[in-house]
Structure 1
Amino acid sequence: MSALEAVLIALAVLALLGVIFEEVIHINKAKVTLFFGTLSWILLFLASGSEGETAAISTGLSESIAEIAGLWLFLVAAMTFVAYLNKKGMIENLIYLIMPKQVSERKLLFLTGLFCFIFSSLADNITATLVSCSLILSLDLDLKKRLQFVTLVVFAVNSGGVSLITGDVTTLMIFLADKVEILTLLTLAIPASITVFVLAVFLSRGLTGIVTLRSTRNEIRPVDAVISGLFLLTILGTISGNALFGVPPVLTFLFGLSVMFLVSRFMSDDSDLDPILEYIRIIEFETLLFFLGILLLVGMLKEIHALDSLVAIYDVLPPLYANYLMGIFSAVIDNVPLTAALLKAGITMSPGEWMGLTYAVGVGGSLLLIGSAAGIVAMSKIPGLTFGAYMRYLAHLLVAYTLGYAGVFMLGRFIN
């Protein structure tokens, strides 16, 4: 290993540590990864010894930028839809529409898990967690019961996202790499939903009270109802368009976004006070910049062939066991860089085995509170939710994750 490669790997490790200890150093992970990601490529160019080497580095950077651009554009379109619907109160209305006004704590736990599972398939994990945390905080629950609810929320949000490319970034990344088909991904919802139910059974012990929901429904305007329907149609169009005609998902979602702009222009009378284009500016660009920095780092590691060692576990263990371990690793190592590294490493697996990896890295982060964006958001919003408090339910979470992975394995055998 050359001195340059050692320095670049050290920069990647520092970036990863910055992500893990974000709450300790109080520096946003997007700033950390973007700094180290861009710095590492600059060092590669500065250390280039010939025109041919510079050209090869430039080609590698162009490939990374092209992959990042596709991911960014898709996320911008999807997150703009969600930002609009959330601001207009449509998501809050949905909660109070499907939830009864008075319900037992046990039944509410199951309904919350079901809502998180479905909603996180359509929206991003962060929004789904924020909405669910708002619901939990509105309830008059003691700390122990609140922790039971939020533990299910984190697991259900991560489980719901794995079966749709709109629900989880790692699922989207694996799909865009042509490792799984969009209709095949939908079958992941079967074992994922079953394990959410199993975990809810585990966590429902001690929930014997009755709670009353405080309904605060917002007025529904025609334009908001139409845009809600358009969002669902865009998701269905993305799935069917790709499955039947091979239309790239990013193209369908950008088309849906353009229709959303036109609908708002012709149906809404508040274009001056609340211009629709403003919703692009309020989406979570910190999340997008984090992905940018991470993917730049992973692209650099591929360029210096540092990812070859990551494949070593697949040389020692069959994909069945290696993928399961990757899911556990994703509870410590952020699943986005982990997935990006595995995709760049050139691992060869069957479609069923790629499904196993999709589930593992999507749900495995639920094992620890710091292992997923849902857990970190919940920790920042729910008083009393600490790393140690969440660890009390590790055994339940591990059982649910293992059962889900076993179910995906059985599905994979059928698909293969």
Structure 2
Amino acid sequence: MTEYLLVSFAVLALLSIVFEEVTHINKAKTTLFFGCISWITLFVTAGSDQHHAISHHLEENLLEIAVLWLFLMSTMTFVAYLNAKGVIQMAVQKLFPGKLSKRKLMLLVALFSLVLSAICDNVTATLVSLTLLQSFNLDKHTKLKMAVLIIFAVNSGGVALITGDVTTLMIFLNGHVQISQLLLLLVPAVASVFFLAALLSIGTKGEARIQPGEFSYETIDLIVAGIFFSTIVLTMVLNVLFAIPPVLTFMTGLSLMFLVGRFYRSDDEETQMLEYVRKIEYDTLLFFLGILLIVGMLKEIGVLTLITQMYSAFDPNISSFLAGIGSALLDNVPLTAALLKAEPLLTTTQWLGLTYAVGVGGSLLVIGSAAGIIAMSKMKEMTFISYARYIPALLVAYSLGYGITLGLAAYIYG
């Protein structure tokens, strides 16, 4: 009975996101409420002998959330500063033509997001790509389509590198795939992203222009930009060489940014680096907190275990495809962890298929990935319903990428 009640809380949380435009209640508030009330219900309905175990699992869940929060805070502070100073807009003006067709812009933005997410984390890639998007003078409909494309491209870009996606790293560390084999996933990633870009560009006409603006920057702004991109590179290198958690490297970079700001401090309040922490939109962080509490609760009551049992009951190629779709509703990290714990007997081709599926499948729903949640919090045009209109196109692109993965891997590895 308790399990049904807790699942109903998860469903109500999902519905509160879907109907946010109707209720006018911020999704961060509703998901946080249902996330907290779910765990309280767990404690109240459990026997006294289970309280210690539930408390331990809650602490593990909160630790994962805290790591994500600190990482997001560090990344968002960097982006908030560079955006306020116009550094990102200046970079866009140098990288992109001042005027180009919207179709060409879609392809360039898709490529930019895919490459950036392959060399750094999804959160940073999403924040920078969305900031890039805001630099162009676009109508709401075109901006929404490009944001959808960014989410799919960001999730696709990380699957081929162990530094680009946590689930890819998990499968690699379990010894099921090698780095050389993972690089094969770049082919379906690029193909599916470009296919989606072409699909979304149908009916899109006109030109896009970079919003004009004169940006004056100081030496400190360039130094902070250098610290930011150095932090991104070091995050990848130190994680590969010494298994240093990305959050630790990014917080180190943030602290260096604060120290540099102290030495360059002037009467201008904007150069006080610590002030930019206040510019972070905490709705995004609260939304993450609520979503991850709900996912943790579902893991606690055995929903993820049920999914692994269903996975083993069907052909692995079909199960992996469906697992990717399932990751749009459940966080792909605990889902992947549960599947790895089940130890399915898969070939190299099937492991690559699973890697692509759990990495990209979350794109099917806006709440299915960190990129989607950030985009929904950052862009007022993007809601659950507005994103859902693109599910058919996203499903086709995801299916194409998955099919290419299986076909290419089977051709090479048999």
TM-score normalized by structure 2?
Answer: 0.79
| Change in 2 beyond 3 A, CA 1:251/1:411 | farther
| Change in 2 beyond 3 A, CA 1:340/1:174 | farther
| Change in 2 beyond 3 A, CA 1:389/1:264 | closer
Deviation per residue, 1:325-373 (Å, 9 max, x gap): 2333455x3x54x654554574435797676455435544545677634
| Change in 2 beyond 3 A, CA 1:386/1:26 | closer
CA contact (8 A) 2:103 2:205 kept: yes
**How far did residue 44 of structure 1 move?**
2.4
Identity over aligned pairs, percent? 41
The aligned amino acid for 2:134 is S
Mapped to 2, the partners of 1:208 and 1:61 lie a distance apart of: 50
Mapped to 1, the partners of 2:128 and 2:81 lie a distance apart of: 14
For structure 2, the residue ranges without an aligned partner over 5 or more in a row are none
1:29 is the counterpart of 2:27: yes
Mapped to 2, the partners of 1:7 and 1:79 lie a distance apart of: 36
Mapped to 2, the partners of 1:93 and 1:111 lie a distance apart of: 17
The aligned amino acid for 1:83 is A
| Change in 2 beyond 3 A, CA 1:214/1:272 | closer
Which of the residues 343, 346, 350 maps onto 1:348? 343
| Change in 2 beyond 3 A, CA 1:242/1:186 | farther
Report which stretch shifted further, 368-377 or 260-269: 368-377
Mapped to 2, the partners of 1:27 and 1:305 lie a distance apart of: 30
Report which stretch shifted further, 317-326 or 118-127: 118-127
Which of the residues 138, 153, 175 maps onto 1:159? 153
CA contact (8 A) 1:162 1:358 kept: no
Secondary structure, counterpart of 1:218 in structure 2: coil
**How far did residue 159 of structure 1 move?**
1.8
**How far did residue 263 of structure 1 move?**
1.7
CA contact (8 A) 1:326 1:361 kept: yes
Report which stretch shifted further, 156-165 or 367-376: 367-376
CA contact (8 A) 2:74 2:251 kept: yes
1:38 is the counterpart of 2:36: yes
CA contact (8 A) 1:34 1:292 kept: yes
**How far did residue 387 of structure 1 move?**
5.2
CA contact (8 A) 1:105 1:210 kept: yes
Secondary structure, counterpart of 1:277 in structure 2: helix
Deviation per residue, 1:154-198 (Å, 9 max, x gap): 123332244449x9x993477579669997877755532332223
CA contact (8 A) 1:64 1:296 kept: yes
**How far did residue 130 of structure 1 move?**
4.0
**How far did residue 314 of structure 1 move?**
0.4
Q: Which residue of 1 aligns with 2:252?
A: 255
Q: Which residue of 2 aligns with 1:99?
A: 96
CA contact (8 A) 2:113 2:157 kept: no
Q: Which residue of 1 aligns with 2:317?
A: 320
Q: Which residue of 2 aligns with 1:171?
A: 165
**How far did residue 237 of structure 1 move?**
0.8
1:196 is the counterpart of 2:177: no
Q: Which residue of 2 aligns with 1:277?
A: 274
Q: Which residue of 2 aligns with 1:8?
A: 6
| Change in 2 beyond 3 A, CA 1:291/1:352 | farther
Which of the residues 266, 274, 296 maps onto 2:263? 266
| Change in 2 beyond 3 A, CA 1:354/1:213 | same
CA contact (8 A) 1:102 1:211 kept: yes
Mapped to 1, the partners of 2:301 and 2:249 lie a distance apart of: 35
**How far did residue 243 of structure 1 move?**
0.9
Secondary structure, counterpart of 1:103 in structure 2: strand
The aligned amino acid for 1:348 is E
Mapped to 1, the partners of 2:298 and 2:387 lie a distance apart of: 36
Q: Which residue of 2 aligns with 1:109?
A: 106
Which of the residues 35, 43, 61 maps onto 2:58? 61
| Change in 2 beyond 3 A, CA 1:264/1:304 | same
- How many pairs does the alignment contain? 399
Mapped to 1, the partners of 2:124 and 2:261 lie a distance apart of: 22
TM-score normalized by structure 1?
Answer: 0.78
Secondary structure, counterpart of 1:311 in structure 2: helix
The aligned amino acid for 1:327 is G
| Change in 2 beyond 3 A, CA 1:272/1:374 | closer
Secondary structure, counterpart of 1:115 in structure 2: helix
CA contact (8 A) 1:125 1:374 kept: no
Q: Which residue of 2 aligns with 1:226?
A: 223
Mapped to 2, the partners of 1:386 and 1:55 lie a distance apart of: 37
The aligned amino acid for 1:131 is T
**How far did residue 119 of structure 1 move?**
5.0
**How far did residue 48 of structure 1 move?**
3.5
| Change in 2 beyond 3 A, CA 1:81/1:67 | same
**How far did residue 410 of structure 1 move?**
6.2
Mapped to 2, the partners of 1:182 and 1:380 lie a distance apart of: 41
Secondary structure, counterpart of 2:212 in structure 1: coil
Q: Which residue of 1 aligns with 2:357?
A: 360
Deviation per residue, 1:242-271 (Å, 9 max, x gap): 111221222111111111111222234256
| Change in 2 beyond 3 A, CA 1:17/1:200 | closer
| Change in 2 beyond 3 A, CA 1:251/1:179 | farther
Secondary structure, counterpart of 2:238 in structure 1: helix
Report which stretch shifted further, 320-329 or 222-231: 320-329
Secondary structure, counterpart of 1:247 in structure 2: coil
Secondary structure, counterpart of 1:17 in structure 2: helix
Mapped to 2, the partners of 1:5 and 1:210 lie a distance apart of: 53
| Change in 2 beyond 3 A, CA 1:202/1:174 | closer
| Change in 2 beyond 3 A, CA 1:152/1:329 | farther
